[in-house]
A and B are shown apart, each in its own frame.
Chain A
Amino acid sequence: MMFELQKGAVRLGQWLVFESLDLRVEAGEIVSILGPSGCGKTTLLRACCGLERLEEGVRILDDEELQNATIHPDITMLFQQPVLYPHLNVSQNMALGAGTNVSKTQKKERIQEVLDAIGLEGFELRGVAGLSGGEAQRVAFGRALMQEPKVMMLDEPFASVDVKRRLALAAMTRTHLKNRNITALHVTHDLEEAKTLSDRIIHWKDLAVGSQGRGESVDE
């Protein structure tokens, strides 16, 4: 699905984080936004997701204009620090992504399938407190895949992982997103990570005020 933000503006208290921001991600495309810490990348993703209210502008998913500050079931987000529920084990956390209309058996099979795909077979009954940063983020990614979203926002998801693993994880994430044809918007301050993961990179400075956000393709 195509995702677009038109003339977006977000204000947090007195701070106008960005305004007149245009951004379009084609169906199945992965776009990375590259920018320094504190520039407003996370706020942009939260607004795209519906977690922050747009002061101005609209979000469009294919031809549908989304209501301001509401969550759409086809859009999900991977936070910088993986958010796993401490009172649930790995497979219970994963199960939350499957929804309520899926039978227990189906849920179990899908969890197994996703865990195998992200390299966490045998982790089903593990408590989440003992997971490493990378493992925790993979569980969170697996849970997001369980949702079968059309659009995924990725907020520096590999920030808590060491450099070597970061690129491997980025590559793995790209494979799964592409296999499932998920449109993705990724923010980071790491150029290597952006190159590994995305089809197109946009610099925040080109995006922030009134830019069309065309960015450059990774090949360029």
Chain B
Amino acid sequence: MSLEWKARFAGVPLVHWMAVVFVIGLGLFPITLALLRLWAVTGITPLGALTTVHDQPGAMEAFRFSLFEAAASTGLTVLIGLPLAWAFGRYQWRNIQLKRALLFLPFVTPPVVAAVGFLALISPGGLLYSMGLDLRGESGVIGFISTSTGWQHPGHFIALVVAHVWFNLSLMIRFVEPVVAQLDPTWEEQLALLPTGQTAFGRVRHLWLPVLGPATLVAATYTFFFSFTSFALVKWLAPSSNTLESLLGEMGGTAGIPGYRIETSLAVLAIATFQMLLMLVMLILAGRFERRHSQVLAMHHEGRNRERHGPASRKWNWFVNGILVMLLAPLLSVVLASFRVRKVGGNGATSQWTFEGWRRAWNGDFSTVPLMDALTNSLSYAFIALLVALPLGYAVASCLVTLRQQGFERTAGVLDSLCMLPLSMSAVMVGLGMVAGILQWFPEMFSFPYLPAVPHVMLVLPFVIRLMVPAIERIDPIFAEQASLLPMSKMGFWWHSRGAFLVVPATMAASLCLAFSMGEFGASFLVVRVGSWDSLSILVDQVASRPKFDPYVFPTAMALATILMLVTLLVLSINERARAWRSRHDV
């Protein structure tokens, strides 16, 4: 029996099925190979290794630390983010587009830039340090807290939690703000006329909690997830502690080699299995909350809602603008620190403004790849990730939506979860899959110049799918019906019934692909350790890790981080401009 290329199964074209199989394979293949390799090296099954996880050096400590810092980060993110999203969604704001872009900025900032940015804030000469908060050296108030409570390194913990809040506030805005902005105002007005709505507590209980609860839960779950799997920020801001992710990152490079440090391979196998199970549970929870969130409410016109509530009060203005300034602080610190060199001499510490850091960053040295090579690598990986992930993500999303529309809900659910696997494995696990999986079984892949792009594709694909699925679901099928009645080519049919409606989500997905790939650190950290594919984020880490007796190490690292930040922003703004151009020429 021959297979028709245009054949459809359950209403889904064959080519979309192939994309689904490829994506699931891409997610499962490296980590399965890695687990098989570690199993072969240690002689212990992944489940067997799981029972030894509490015996692995540092594993339980890392688990407790991951749990505490993620819980604290999530709590603080909700505490600050909820009123921020509420005020931002409710009132009229001047330059709202700009403010929204600024609030979104941390989420697309490369983690290593954020890490060195916070480092600049808390290091001697930094803003927080100058305010008497020594989170790094833990003197003064922080030192007092440490000695009086016996808490080891509270400064590191606080710095890490603040950085996680900085990163994840945009998630609260992303999920909660639209609900507030588009809520039917008559609900609030009706409640105010009923006895239960006479008190603030009553209004919170009967309106705001049910309305904002699901969106907040989704944002909180993702915040917990990202904080739990944090790597670059932990490495730089809390060097005395490990999350499970950073522990794997430390040990993963040498795992899977037969006869060499078997105990490391066993530890990696145990911790990786443990973390994978935890991530899977979190992802299932996040998916459930997200479905509940998407079921909420008939939405109202945002502009009219804002008009009804008018401009924000002075109190809210201070709050929102204050947070915006704080969000910019670490990024500005990076730029400032790249021009400032701090020397300790006989007269104590002195600061000087200089271009030496930039000169060194530009010229490079013999111990790292040249800047332009790293930049070229980063851009190449980012564009490969974009070119592969966008069409693949679209095909998978289209398949999932068609299956749901055809009534195959359960199949769509299972496939959806399988396609999300790379997300449940975290960046370091994906890197581990490459190093201990693919490279150990297929060493000839060492010569493949674009190897680091593979984990980038894996990591961005779930985000592309997540953006595309609701966008495709929202397209009214009547456009396809109308198009089918008009004389147009197949391409024209696709464009007018699908493509034109996906320009905005596709641009958003492209921005995320580019930004995530440019800033990707966890997987690259493991992969480049065994090869020579240094990206710009790895170069920042390499330079910043050098001993600091050379006063120019820090400014050089900051100059590299500034370049990474600027290139990322430049790529994103070109992408956004392309979208604006496209929409201007469409209508």
Inter-chain contact B488/A96, CB cutoff 8 Å: yes
Interface-located stretch among A18-26, A27-35, A83-91, A208-216 = A83-91
Tell me the nearest residue of chain A to B501, going by C-beta. A87
Inter-chain contact B485/A49, CB cutoff 8 Å: yes
Interface-located stretch among B92-100, B152-160, B474-482 = B474-482
Inter-chain contact A77/B487, CB cutoff 8 Å: no
CA distance A88 to B482 in the complex (A): 14
* Smallest beta-carbon distance A139→chain B, Å: 12
Inter-chain contact A96/B486, CB cutoff 8 Å: yes
B586 located at the interface, meaning its Cβ lies under 8 Å from any Cβ of chain A in the complex: yes
* Smallest beta-carbon distance A103→chain B, Å: 15
Evaluate whether A83 and B484 lie within 8 angstroms (CB atoms) in the complex, with A89-B587, A100-B489, A127-B587 already known: no
CA distance A97 to B492 in the complex (A): 12
Q: Chain B residues near A147 (CB, 8 Å)?
A: 486-487
Inter-chain contact B487/A85, CB cutoff 8 Å: no
Inter-chain contact A88/B487, CB cutoff 8 Å: no
A38 located at the interface, meaning its Cβ lies under 8 Å from any Cβ of chain B in the complex: no
Inter-chain contact B492/A100, CB cutoff 8 Å: yes
A143 located at the interface, meaning its Cβ lies under 8 Å from any Cβ of chain B in the complex: yes
A79 located at the interface, meaning its Cβ lies under 8 Å from any Cβ of chain B in the complex: yes
Interface centre among A73, A96, A100, A129 (most CB of B within 10 A): A96
B496 located at the interface, meaning its Cβ lies under 8 Å from any Cβ of chain A in the complex: yes
Evaluate whether A96 and B496 lie within 8 angstroms (CB atoms) in the complex, with A51-B481, A79-B482, A147-B487 already known: yes
Tell me which residues from 116 to 138 in chain A have a Cβ below 8 Å from any Cβ of chain B: 127, 129
Inter-chain contact A88/B587, CB cutoff 8 Å: yes
Tell me which residues from 165 to 183 in chain B have a Cβ below 8 Å from any Cβ of chain A: none
Q: Chain A residues near B530 (CB, 8 Å)?
A: none
Tell me the nearest residue of chain B to A129, going by C-beta. B587
- With beta carbons under 8 angstroms apart, the residue of A76, A86, A88 that contacts B485 is A76
Inter-chain contact A87/B586, CB cutoff 8 Å: yes
- With beta carbons under 8 angstroms apart, the residue of B478, B492, B583 that contacts A79 is B478
B500 located at the interface, meaning its Cβ lies under 8 Å from any Cβ of chain A in the complex: yes
A172 located at the interface, meaning its Cβ lies under 8 Å from any Cβ of chain B in the complex: no
CA distance A83 to B497 in the complex (A): 11
Tell me which residues from 465 to 511 in chain B have a Cβ below 8 Å from any Cβ of chain A: 478-479, 481-489, 492, 496, 500-501, 503
Tell me the nearest residue of chain B to A73, going by C-beta. B487
Q: Chain A residues near B586 (CB, 8 Å)?
A: 87-88
Encode A55-90 as 1/0 by CB contact (under 8 A) with B. 000000000000000010101110101010111110
Q: Chain B residues near A98 (CB, 8 Å)?
A: 487
* Smallest beta-carbon distance A46→chain B, Å: 8
Tell me the nearest residue of chain A to B497, going by C-beta. A85
Inter-chain contact A87/B486, CB cutoff 8 Å: no
Interface centre among B486, B488, B496 (most CB of A within 10 A): B486
* Smallest beta-carbon distance B362→chain A, Å: 44
Inter-chain contact B587/A97, CB cutoff 8 Å: no
Evaluate whether A97 and B482 lie within 8 angstroms (CB atoms) in the complex, with A87-B500, A87-B586 already known: no
CA distance A127 to B587 in the complex (A): 6
Encode A90-118 as 1/0 by CB contact (under 8 A) with B. 00000011111000000000000000000
Evaluate whether A97 and B486 lie within 8 angstroms (CB atoms) in the complex, with A85-B496, A88-B587 already known: yes
* Smallest beta-carbon distance A48→chain B, Å: 12
Inter-chain contact B587/A83, CB cutoff 8 Å: no
CA distance A33 to B167 in the complex (A): 61
Inter-chain contact B489/A71, CB cutoff 8 Å: no
Is the interface on chain A under 10, 10 to 19, 20 to 34, or 35 or more residues?
20 to 34
* Smallest beta-carbon distance A205→chain B, Å: 28
CA distance A51 to B480 in the complex (A): 11
Tell me the nearest residue of chain B to A153, going by C-beta. B485
* Smallest beta-carbon distance B480→chain A, Å: 10
Inter-chain contact B488/A77, CB cutoff 8 Å: no
CA distance A97 to B485 in the complex (A): 9
* Smallest beta-carbon distance B61→chain A, Å: 55
Q: Chain B residues near A87 (CB, 8 Å)?
A: 500-501, 503, 583, 586-587
CA distance A88 to B587 in the complex (A): 5
CA distance A81 to B481 in the complex (A): 13
Inter-chain contact B488/A86, CB cutoff 8 Å: no
Tell me which residues from 233 to 274 in chain B have a Cβ below 8 Å from any Cβ of chain A: none
Q: Chain A residues near B485 (CB, 8 Å)?
A: 49, 71, 75-77
Evaluate whether A51 and B487 lie within 8 angstroms (CB atoms) in the complex, with A89-B587, A96-B496 already known: no
Tell me the nearest residue of chain B to A86, going by C-beta. B587
Tell me which residues from 172 to 211 in chain A have a Cβ below 8 Å from any Cβ of chain B: none
Inter-chain contact A71/B484, CB cutoff 8 Å: yes
Q: Chain B residues near A97 (CB, 8 Å)?
A: 486-487
Inter-chain contact A85/B478, CB cutoff 8 Å: no
* Smallest beta-carbon distance A210→chain B, Å: 29
CA distance A73 to B485 in the complex (A): 7
Inter-chain contact A143/B587, CB cutoff 8 Å: no
Q: Chain A residues near B482 (CB, 8 Å)?
A: 79, 83
CA distance A51 to B478 in the complex (A): 11
Inter-chain contact B481/A85, CB cutoff 8 Å: no
Evaluate whether A83 and B487 lie within 8 angstroms (CB atoms) in the complex, with A88-B587, A100-B492 already known: no
Q: Chain B residues near A71 (CB, 8 Å)?
A: 484-485
Tell me the nearest residue of chain B to A84, going by C-beta. B482
Q: Chain B residues near A49 (CB, 8 Å)?
A: 485
Tell me the nearest residue of chain A to B489, going by C-beta. A100
CA distance A112 to B139 in the complex (A): 79
Tell me which residues from 293 to 314 in chain B have a Cβ below 8 Å from any Cβ of chain A: none
CA distance A166 to B59 in the complex (A): 75
Tell me the nearest residue of chain A to B503, going by C-beta. A87
Evaluate whether A143 and B486 lie within 8 angstroms (CB atoms) in the complex, with A86-B587, A87-B586, A88-B586 already known: yes
Tell me the nearest residue of chain A to B482, going by C-beta. A83
Inter-chain contact B488/A83, CB cutoff 8 Å: no
CA distance A100 to B479 in the complex (A): 19
Q: Chain A residues near B479 (CB, 8 Å)?
A: 83, 85
Q: Chain B residues near A88 (CB, 8 Å)?
A: 496, 500, 586-587
Tell me which residues from 66 to 120 in chain B have a Cβ below 8 Å from any Cβ of chain A: none
* Smallest beta-carbon distance B583→chain A, Å: 8
CA distance A81 to B482 in the complex (A): 11
CA distance A143 to B487 in the complex (A): 11
* Smallest beta-carbon distance B448→chain A, Å: 40
Chain B residues with a Cβ under 8 A of chain A: 478-479, 481-489, 492, 496, 500-501, 503, 583, 586-587
15 contacting pairs across A/B (C-beta < 8 A): A73-B487, A83-B479, A85-B496, A85-B500, A86-B587, A87-B501, A87-B503, A88-B587, A89-B587, A96-B496, A97-B486, A99-B487, A99-B488, A100-B488, A129-B587
A71-B484, A76-B486, A97-B486 known; 13 new pairs, CB 8 Å cut-off, are A51-B484, A83-B479, A83-B481, A83-B482, A85-B479, A85-B500, A87-B501, A87-B586, A96-B488, A96-B496, A99-B487, A100-B488, A129-B587
Give the top 10 A-B pairs by smallest Cβ distance, nearest first.
Answer: A99-B487, A83-B482, A87-B586, A87-B500, A96-B486, A76-B485, A127-B587, A71-B484, A83-B478, A85-B496
